[in-house]
């Protein structure tokens, strides 16, 4: 047929926003839209540190995609992408092939281990519902084992990386560990939680005063901070840090870096740490019909520094991308993407957070309320009031 085929890969923050906006903007029979995702649910990645630590349920962090899109307008394909072939205009799935006229790549990122020996093999990572289940069950299992074998390393927990997700996760875990001690009759004195960061400061790029506040909160929760100390190697039982100190630990969670999805590099696009420097319309260089959004794309700020990959960025890209696809198939000129940085909020466990919004700083309980507001706003944006009622956390 002459109807253009639009294929969206990934139903994360970027992909869902693209699909929802296209559904609104396109007229009946103006295009065929297909959304491909590995799972039949969308996960709220910015929540994953909570179910990972066990302070919230997994069901609060995922939503069936069928609730978010109109399946009369968009075909949902539950499958894993195996290969993207830009020159053939084809995508190879684990169980079939799709051809497209316009492609959107929103496959998210994956952990970057910077070649640290053993990290890929031995550390756990927070990246999906399945990986989060593993972390949660692994931690509980260590408590159960400890009551049987008294192995000290079972009660040592290492979080590698003190960027946003590292700090958010370590805060939640610090809240959870005392509760696990009670549940499993373990003396809290034998439990140690370490947060190791190679950079000279935690939360690089964040306001200095707020970083200091965050560090104080973490210390009060009993976290041992090792800032400016690189992890040299990850072992089956712990890590080697700095100049050779061995922290014996049965649990190592790596949050130290994100790179683009390897499928993007495999497709032959030019990448930096797996991410493609897209043009001002979010297209892959040399391809008028391929948009790359979210954690696999690279956008430079006016100061010439790459923006960190965030949900906020992916969502705004999704909106612009949908707009540009409708302009493209109508033969009109595209609109440039401009990132509007609204602010940053990082949670520090129950009732604690830090935030910079419109240049104003917040900390403590007020910042924690802001975090909730941001979360609820997202649920409202993608699923309206019903989703807010179903998945929102108000307390």
Least CB distance to ligand FAD at residue 261 (A): 6
Least CB distance to ligand FAD at residue 164 (A): 6
Task: Enter the tokens of residue 329.
Answer: 């198939």
- 7 vs 239, beta carbon nearer ligand FAD: 7
Rounded CA gap, 38 and 122, in Å? 24
| Residue closest to 128 by CA, chosen among 11, 37, 64, 48 | 48
Query: Are residues 83 and 263 in contact, defined by beta-carbon separation less than 8 angstroms?
Result: yes
- 253 vs 328, beta carbon nearer ligand FAD: 253
Burial class (CB in 10 A: 0-12, 13-18, 19+), 283: buried
- 289 vs 310, beta carbon nearer ligand FAD: 310
- 10 vs 349, beta carbon nearer ligand FAD: 10
Q: What is the DSSP string of 29-42?
A: TS-EEEEEESSSEE
Least CB distance to ligand FAD at residue 348 (A): 12
Least CB distance to ligand FAD at residue 386 (A): 21
Torsion of CA 47, 52, 57, 63, to 10 degrees: 50
Least CB distance to ligand FAD at residue 50 (A): 9
Helix axes 208-220, 164-184, angle to 10 degrees: 10
Q: Which residue is nearest to ligand FAD (CB)?
A: 12
Choosing from 71, 88, 140, 168, which is the catalytic residue? 168
Rounded CA gap, 231 and 245, in Å? 10
| Residue closest to 378 by CA, chosen among 127, 60, 85 | 60
- 142 vs 310, beta carbon nearer ligand FAD: 310
Q: How many residues does the chain have?
A: 395
Which residue's structure tokens are 């993608």? 382
Rounded CA gap, 336 and 320, in Å? 8
SS3 71: coil
Rounded CA gap, 298 and 294, in Å? 8
- 81 vs 241, beta carbon nearer ligand FAD: 81
Least CB distance to ligand FAD at residue 94 (A): 8
Task: Enter the tokens of residue 74.
Answer: 């968009």
Residues 6+ positions from 212 with CB-CB distance below 8 Å? none
Rounded CA gap, 17 and 139, in Å? 34
Least CB distance to ligand FAD at residue 129 (A): 9
- 205 vs 242, beta carbon nearer ligand FAD: 205
Burial class (CB in 10 A: 0-12, 13-18, 19+), 66: exposed
- 155 vs 252, beta carbon nearer ligand FAD: 252
Active site residue 352: no
Rounded CA gap, 200 and 230, in Å? 10
Least CB distance to ligand FAD at residue 122 (A): 19
Query: Are residues 319 and 170 in contact, defined by beta-carbon separation less than 8 angstroms?
Result: no
Rounded CA gap, 145 and 248, in Å? 16
Which residues make up the interface to ligand FAD (CB under 6 A)?
10-15, 36-39, 45-46, 48-49, 80-81, 106-108, 126, 164-165, 168-169, 261, 263, 294-295, 309-312, 314
Known catalytic residues are 168
């Amino acid at each position: 047929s002459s109807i253009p085929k639009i294929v969206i890969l990934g139903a994360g923050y970027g992909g869902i926003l693209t699909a929802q906006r296209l559904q609104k903007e396109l007229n009946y029979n103006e295009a065929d839209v297909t959304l491909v995702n590995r799972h039949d649910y969308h996960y709220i990645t910015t929540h994953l540190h909570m179910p990972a630590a066990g302070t919230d349920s997994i069901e609060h962090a995922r939503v069936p995609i069928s609730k978010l899109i109109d399946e009369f307008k968009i075909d949902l394909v539950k499958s894993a992408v195996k290969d993207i072939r830009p020159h053939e205009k084809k995508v190879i799935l684990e169980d079939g092939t799709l051809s497209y006229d316009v492609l959107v790549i929103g496959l998210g990122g994956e952990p970057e281990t910077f070649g640290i020996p053993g990290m890929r093999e031995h550390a756990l990572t927070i990246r999906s519902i399945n990986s989060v289940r593993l972390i949660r069950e692994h931690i509980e299992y260590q408590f159960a084992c400890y009551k049987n074998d008294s192995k000290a390393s079972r009660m040592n927990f290492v979080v590698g990386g003190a960027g946003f997700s590292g700090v958010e996760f370590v805060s939640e875990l610090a809240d959870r560990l005392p509760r696990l001690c009670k549940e499993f009759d373990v003396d809290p004195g034998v439990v140690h939680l370490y947060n190791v960061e190679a950079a000279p400061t935690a939360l690089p790029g964040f306001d200095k005063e707020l970083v200091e506040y965050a560090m104080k909160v973490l210390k009060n929760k009993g976290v041992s901070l090792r800032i400016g100390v690189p992890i040299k190697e990850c072992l089956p039982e712990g890590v080697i840090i700095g100049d050779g100190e061995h922290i014996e630990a049965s649990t190592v969670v790596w949050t130290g870096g994100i790179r683009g999805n390897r499928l993007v590099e495999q497709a032959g696009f030019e990448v930096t740490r797996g991410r493609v420097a897209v043009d001002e319309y979010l297209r892959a260089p040399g391809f008028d019909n391929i948009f790359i959004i979210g954690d696999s794309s690279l956008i430079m700020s006016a100061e010439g520094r790459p923006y960190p990959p965030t949900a906020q960025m992916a969502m705004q890209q999704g909106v612009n991308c949908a707009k540009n696809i409708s302009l493209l198939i109508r033969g009109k000129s595209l609109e440039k993407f401009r990132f509007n940085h609204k602010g940053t909020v990082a949670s520090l466990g129950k009732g604690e957070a830090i935030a910079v919004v419109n240049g104003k700083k917040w900390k403590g309980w007020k910042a924690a309320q802001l975090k909730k507001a941001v979360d609820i706003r997202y649920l409202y944006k993608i699923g309206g009031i019903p989703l807010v009622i179903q998945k929102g956390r108000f307390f």
